[in-house]
Structure 1
Amino acid sequence: MIRQATLQDVAAMVSIYNHAVEHTTATYDDAPYTIEQRFTWFERLAHAGMPIFVFEEEDQVLGYAALEPFRPDPAYRHTVMHSIYIHPASQGKGIGKQLLNTLVSAAKQADFVTLVAEIDGNNHASMRLHEQIGFRYSGTIQRCAQKFEQWLDLVFYQYDLR
């Protein structure tokens, strides 16, 4: 089931995120987060009115998703971006799709205009998922990041929420 995240979920969220940091290019962060850093992130988003959801099954958090401001400048106030992370043992089970649909609905309800996805250029499964939901490809920044001793391309997709 998908529900609003609470501070009690932060430890599970950190564990899921840090696995992505240490083993994937789903995030370009290259150092694990502490629980304290994730509490700060959680409180910042909550204070800004940004929703954070978890997918929970049998009292275990198997994934989470959040909306975040796209950029800090006021002109971007109608645009948000999202992040979705799934526990590695639960990937490929449709949890990401359910969370993404929930984020699209939440962004529409909040009267945002554009939802942006930033995806690693090698993450073809994520690109296909976004296309299935209705996101459109909007550009690639090539060789903009380096992780695991390889250059990475950042691909942008966007969803028109109107």
Structure 2
Amino acid sequence: MTKIRALSEADLPAVGEIYAHYVTATAATFDETPPGLQEWRAKAEGIARAGLPFLVAEVDGEVAGYAYVAQYRPKPAYRHTLEDTIYLAPGRTGRGLGRLLLGELIAKLSGTRARTLVAVIADSGDPASARLHTAFGFEEAGRLKAVGFKHGRWIDTVLLQLDLTK
């Protein structure tokens, strides 16, 4: 059974483990060292203080993925623009969990101060994230060429955005 629910403190080790896989084995994130539990706790607390969602996908009692939104950039004028983050556990991709998480994130932003939701996607050769976002109406807003260097190669980022006022 799959359910999408709010993150709990007990989920943080699983969230950290999922993200660590992407940090060490892929170019989906430009982090090169996985954050520790304290860093995840601080991130979760900051997101909660901002009144924003941090969700997990639970499958048969196990955290199979997570998603959250945070302010796109720290400067005050960006306060109406948010960025989403979604990661699924290895072996849990391709089963619709990303769609469930992103759909719930967007639904939770209805009626908030948010005007625009941005996705910053590392263009590392896997089109799954871009496909997921475009299925929800995100449109490509630009490309930053060769802005990340990881695993011996330069990687572009693609910027997608969704107008939440429509």
The secondary structure found in structure 1 opposite 2:110 is: helix
Structure 1-normalised TM-score? Answer: 0.96
Mean Cα deviation higher: 53-62 or 106-115: 106-115
Matched with 2:108 is 106
Matched with 2:68 is 66
Matched with 2:126 is 123
Matched with 2:159 is 156
The secondary structure found in structure 2 opposite 1:116 is: strand
Q: Tell me, which stretches of 5 or more residues in structure 2 are unaligned?
A: none
Aligned length: 162
Q: Is the Cα contact below 8 Å between 1:14 and 1:34 reproduced in 2?
A: yes
Q: Does 1:97 align with 2:99?
A: yes
Deviation at 1:99, TM superposition (A): 0.5
Q: Does 1:15 align with 2:17?
A: yes
Matched with 2:150 is 147
Q: Tell me, which stretches of 5 or more residues in structure 1 are unaligned?
A: none
Matched with 1:37 is 39
Give 1 or 2: higher helix fraction.
1
* Identity value in percent: 38
Q: Is the Cα contact below 8 Å between 1:107 and 1:115 reproduced in 2?
A: no
